[in-house]
Structure 1
Amino acid sequence: MMTQKQKTFTIYLLPLVLLCIPLLGTLISKEINWSVSDFLIAGVLLFSTAFLINLVRSKIKKQSQRILICVFVLMVFGLVWIELAVGIFGSPFAGN
């Protein structure tokens, strides 16, 4: 059984692990071309999502509400990530 401290550590470790994937791709392949600003934006998005999920886990006591809010946070994260990557909504900060 994981303690609360271990769960929090795991939540904040996951963004670092996820950022290592494009870092390795950038180092190994010429096809993946992330700049420093790409890593900074991805890091801010991933760590803010991790922070919000950790905040929800600690403040919301009812399990069903906790799951619903976490799913909402993940959906918003996904939509912002997709918008930055390919621009599905056509906003001024859209990618490609």
Structure 2
Amino acid sequence: MLTQNKRLIGIVLTVAFLLLIPLVAMQFTNEVDWGPFDFIVMGILLLGTGLACEFVLRRVRNKEYRLFIIGAILVALFLVWAELAVGIFGTPFAGS
């Protein structure tokens, strides 16, 4: 039980650390221009991905299925991230 709680704390701390990267970059360059909404959306994406992977690790016992599902979750994260960043699919979510 303690190990599982440590993993959840690790997920939250990793998300916080990853969100600090653009926050620090904004202090040094004008090329990174994130607003509060950007931080909220990326925080939800990262935390949701981390929690979904944790759920799979806890529930799925077959290693092949586990790797496939986690891989699919990560591919979905990268596709949503790319769509929101540059609009590779041209959906209204990209802002283009």
Q: Tell me the TM-score normalized by structure 2.
A: 0.89
% identical equivalent positions: 38
- 1:89 maps to 89
- Which of the pair is proportionally richer in helix? 2
Q: Shift of the alpha carbon at 1:9?
A: 2.3
In the alignment, structure 1 residue 79 sits paired with structure 2 residue 79: yes
What do you get for the CA RMSD once the two structures are aligned?
A: 1.6
- 1:23 maps to 23
Counting matched residue pairs gives 95
**SS at structure 2 position matched to 1:93:** helix
Aligned equivalents of 2:7, 2:51: Cα separation in 1? 12
CA contact (8 A) 2:11 2:47 kept: no
**SS at structure 1 position matched to 2:89:** coil
Q: Shift of the alpha carbon at 1:67?
A: 1.0
Aligned equivalents of 2:31, 2:82: Cα separation in 1? 19
Q: Which runs of 5+ in 1 are unaligned?
A: none
- 1:63 maps to 63
TM-superposition CA deviations, 1:32-54 (whole Å, max 9, x none): 11111111111111111111011
In the alignment, structure 1 residue 11 sits paired with structure 2 residue 14: no
Aligned equivalents of 2:87, 2:46: Cα separation in 1? 19
Q: Shift of the alpha carbon at 1:13?
A: 1.9
